[in-house]
Structure 1
Amino acid sequence: MSKSGSVKDGEKGPYDPVPTTDKANDEIKLEAKMSLLNGITVIVGSIIGSGIFVSPTGVLKYTGSVNASLLVWTASGIFSTVGAYCYAELGCMIRKSGADYAYIMETFGPFLAFIRLWVECMIVRPCSQAIVALTFSVYVLKPVFPDCAPPDDATRILAACCICILAFINCWDVKWATRVQDIFTYAKLLALFIIILTGAYQLFTGHTQYFTFDDTNTEVTSIALSFYSGLFAYNGWNYLNFIIEELKDPVKNLPKAIGISCVLVTIVYVFANMAFYTTLSPVEVLGSEAVAVTFANRLFGMFAWMIPVFVALSTFGAVNGILLTSSRLFYAGACEGQMPEILTMIQISRLTPTPAVLCMTLLSMLYLCSSDIFALINYVGFATWLSIGVSVLCLPWLRWTQPKLPRPIKVNLFFPMIYILATLFVTIVPMYASPKETGYGCLMIFTSVPVYFVFISWKSKPKCFQRAVVRITKFLQKIMLVVGKSKPAQV
């Protein structure tokens, strides 16, 4: 297989196991250890992180009224479910780790695939992980600083510690990582169910004064920007596709996991927002850095400490979910020759993609230089939905160009077309309302072009450069004890 091609049935490709001895069964590979329940907790755990506890402020800021914000939360859930439905067909048709990247590589070739890889690896994933880790820090430190915002330095240091601990777990054992994901997913659902039940009691006792359309902002640009915050909270519905090779029976379990997770999260998000507004006024929500903590302080008295603890657990689990799935994207890109070779390698005793995990960790640390969560959300929003829209475009394109590909799940083309149109709305309109953030987003995307032509497309690089790369790769192999599927490079 060429680096720019795709793997067909029966061919050896970049994701094939790494033989370690003469025995065919003794090999180093990413193993299929994840059950349907693990798949659900990966998606739910990745989606429910900081978004539901940060984004109520962002959505309300642009919608202006409680009822309008609830409509945006519902529409964002439906939008994400439609996208997930499209990804179910793509994931069962192209069963390769890397998700969007693998689909674009198969459909549009290496250039657009690299742009998607660059956007996801260099912007979206590390930035999202930094946002969630910062939210974790804010909620952990809020009880220590009840009357003021936690210091920026303390917030960033704690966020870095969170990322480093989870990087160690993901380097040590995939089972540990999925176990962490399971436990913390249950914790975050428990926290949200406590909030929802409390809100239900408030509703039944007549606390409905804030549920109005008063002061609704009907400007198209504001509506689009409100979707940035809403959709950010649902970000992660496609993460299981990135580790599909580690999922048992993916044709059966992938669509089930996606469907169950998206419906569950949409219901939980809408009800949790309703709960917040039974007690907090729009002014209080807009003025709160930690909406769930403010809600708990108003209603739970001496037990108010429970909510920030559960929210911290929630965001901790979300950081783990992002790290678990993102490292596989680096791995997939390296297998296609579009990332450094070291990222294709697996730790010989732990069977984990250690170099990819560490690369993701270091990039996330860079984004911790900024503690402005909402600015980071706007950067991520534009790049994310533009890229995902291109990925969904793969579905109708492949129907036309490769109609004979096996499709265990076949989606009605109405759904991808609606999704693509909605994606154009949430990416084009904000260019007028928020030109600075979208301008930075475009600049980050365009940086991929010279990188591609210099490091990927240009094959006849100077010998000194090639020797330096080989030496660095061999050095990193030695200190991390990792091997790839190819023989050690010779200088």
Structure 2
Amino acid sequence: MKQQDPTMEARLSLKREVGLMGAVSFIAGTMMGSGIFISPQYVLLAIGSPGASLIIWACCGLIALLGGLCYAELGTVIPESGGEYIYMRRTVGKVVAFMFVFSFVIVMRPASATGIALSFAEYVVAPFYSGCAPPQLVLKCVAAGGILLLAIVNCLSVRLATGIQVVSMVIKMLALAVIIVGGVVTFFRGNAEDFEDSFEATNVGVSSIGIAFYQGLWSYDGWNTLNYLTEELKRPEVNLPRALLIAIFLVTGLYLLVNVSYLTVMTPKELVSSNAVAVTWGNKMFGSWGWIMSVAAALSAFGSLNGTFFSGGRVCFVAAREGHMPDILSMAHVRRLTPSPALIFTTAVSLVVLIPGDFQSIVNFFSFTAWFFYAITLSGLLYLKIKKPELPRPYSVPIILPILVLIVAIFLVLAPIIDDPQIEYLYVALFILSGAVIYVPFIHYKLCPGLLTKLTTFLQLFLEVAPAEKNL
């Protein structure tokens, strides 16, 4: 194979191909995935009553909106891809940023992708296992197939991945519209008894509220998607905040209406015991045609998984470019201009996490880790506002917003631990801190550089990739 000309390597960068429509689709499409078709039963199970569950869903939307607006300022002050990683790198330092990217690459993004892939598989196989739970081996094989297919798509083309995101968003919007209309029709027929005494049996324990928020916020996960691909966004100073507002208002409204529909058509007991909520809803509304909802929910989760891969690969790519991951992960394909090595690595880790994973524990531990780092990121925004007010800010939020979201983040991290301590949270905390231990020998002192250089050269030729520079 011919060696790449050095001048071409220096000019290689990711293209700005994501406009406002694509941006809204990435946010809303990533958020509206598996969560709204799976999480309602877990929110209701944790909080105990239909009325309280609706309040949880509304509050989750508000938290996502406020967090998104804070991130919009960060994305315009620091206009680089990489999300939390690059913001921590620029505000709190290299060690904390490495702790984040280590946790993100090994735990957070694979856990997110695995949870979505499992819910995708749940809906794909649901019509074939009516009335009983599908075997775990079947679920995991289908989930692995979905992960591999989308990894290939994202390695081949940014436009193809964006196109899948837009199409899947349209499908999931139609599916949610069907659920909403069905619920409205049922409600006006007089099936509203589940809303009588709707706050009875509410669990008011700190741990119950925290777990309910974890499950609800899982459905809103993706509100920060654009911050991972800022360098590929057209006019980020305009499109970043605009896309956030459009997408999060849209998603919050749809989620509330869908939950009302679920509670109108199904009893709380039916909702909590369902393996696939949308399928149970479809069977009650459409009888033998209920499988249509299974197909729509599967396609919705597929789109969400696509958005997760698109954004997650970019964090790994940026971290490698900053010297915190192997050099090969900072390279892009010389013709397709996709960060294919980072995407391949993320896929491999996700498949490993899939082997022992189950949906509910994945969500809880993902949320605990995510909100720990959200708190650090928001602290960085406060630092920039107070210590560096002279920085250009194409978009800015009042200082009270990051303070409020920071308080929420601290509550979500501490609440489950204080009220109901579990040894698993200690393991997660120790894993996060282990990033600092790994940083010293492998990043600061760069152990084994010769071996990594040879491996990088081989993979660079094999994968047809070259170093990519920042696209500011």
Question: Which TM-score bucket, shorter chain as reference?
Answer: over 0.9
Alpha-carbon distance in structure 2 between the residues aligned to 1:189 and 1:79: 22
How many aligned positions are there? 463
User: Which of 427, 430, 453 is matched with 1:440 structurally?
Assistant: 427
Q: Distance in 2 between matches of 1:190 and 1:440?
A: 41
Structure 1 Cα separation of the partners of residues 232 and 336 of structure 2? 15
Task: From 98, 115, 118, give the equivalent of 1:131.
Answer: 115
Name the residue aligned to 1:242: 228
- Relative to structure 1, the CA distance from residue 273 to residue 108 in structure 2 (aligned partners, 3 Å threshold; closer, same or farther) is same
Question: How far apart are the structure 1 equivalents of 2:249 and 2:5?
Answer: 43
Deviations 1:248-304 (A, max 9, x none): 111110100011111111111111111000011111111111011101101112321
Unpaired segments ≥5 residues, structure 1: 1-18, 487-491
- The corresponding residue for 1:32 is 16
- State the partner residue of 1:473: 456
Q: 1:66 aligns to what?
A: 50
Corresponding residue for 1:13? none
1:427 to 413, 428, 440: 413
Alpha carbons of structure 1 residues 485 and 185: separation in structure 2 relative to 1, 3 Å: closer
How far residue 367 of structure 1 moved from its aligned partner, in angstroms, is 1.2
Aligned to 2:170: 186
Separation in 1, partners of 2:424, 2:173:
33
Across the aligned residues of Structure 1 and Structure 2, the Cα RMSD in angstroms comes to 1.5
Aligned-residue offset at 1:352: 0.7
Match for residue 438 of structure 2 among 451, 459, 480 = 451
Deviations, residues 338-367 of structure 1 (Å, cap 9, x unaligned): 000001111111111110010110011011
Runs of 4+, deviation exceeding 6 Å: none
Instruction: Say whether 1:272 aligns with 2:258.
Output: yes
CA shift, 1:444, in A, is 2.2
TM-score, length basis structure 1: 0.92
Matched, 1:263 2:246: no
In structure 2, C-alpha distance between the alignment counterparts of 1:414 and 1:285, rounded to whole Å: 38
Say which SS state the counterpart of residue 483 (structure 1) adopts: strand
Identical residues among aligned pairs (%): 36
- Opposite residue 457 of structure 1, the aligned amino acid is H
Partners of 2:165 and 2:307 within 8 A in 1: yes
Q: Which has the higher helix share?
A: 2
Match of 1:169 in 2: 153
Q: CA deviation at 1:434?
A: 4.6
Q: Structure 1: which amino acid aligns with 2:414?
A: I
Q: Tell me which residue corresponds to 1:99.
A: 83
Match of 1:207 among 168, 174, 191: 191
1:447 Cα deviation from its structure 2 partner = 2.1
Query: Deviations along 1:377-408, whole A, 9 cap, x unmatched?
Result: 11101001111111111111111221110011
| Correspondent of 2:59 among 56, 72, 75 | 75
Displacement of 1:485 = 5.1
Residue 140 of structure 1 pairs with residue 151 of structure 2:
no
SS at match of 1:346: strand
Match status 1:90 vs 2:74? yes
Change (3 A) 1:59 1:97: same
What does residue range 46-445 of structure 1 map to in structure 2 within 5 Å? 46-211=30-195, 212-432=198-418, 433-445=420-432
* Residues 1:279 and 1:471: Cα distance change in structure 2 (over 3 Å): same
Question: Aligned equivalents of 2:6 and 2:362: distance in 1?
Answer: 47
Residue 43 (str. 1) matches residue 27 (str. 2): yes
Distance in 1, Cα, partners of 2:103 & 2:273: 32
Query: What is residue 484 of structure 1 aligned with on the other side?
Result: 467
- Contact 1:378–1:437, Cα closer than 8 Å, also in 2: no
Q: Given residue 445 of structure 1, which amino acid in structure 2 is its aligned partner?
A: I
Asked whether the 8 Å contact 1:379–1:440 carries over to 2, the reply is no
Is the 2:28–2:169 contact (alpha carbons within 8 Å) kept by the matching residues of 1? yes
Distance 1:209 1:407 in 2: 51
How far has the Cα of 1:200 moved from its partner? Answer: 1.0
Q: Return the letter of the residue paired with 1:135.
A: S
Mapped to 2, the partners of 1:475 and 1:434 lie a distance apart of 47
TM-score normalised by length of structure 2: 0.96
Q: CA distance change for structure 1 residues 190 and 434 in 2, over 3 Å: closer, same or farther?
A: farther
Give the Cα–Cα distance (whole angstroms) in 2 for the partners of residues 392 and 475 of structure 1: 40
Instruction: Tell me how far 1:21 sits from its aligned partner.
Output: 6.2
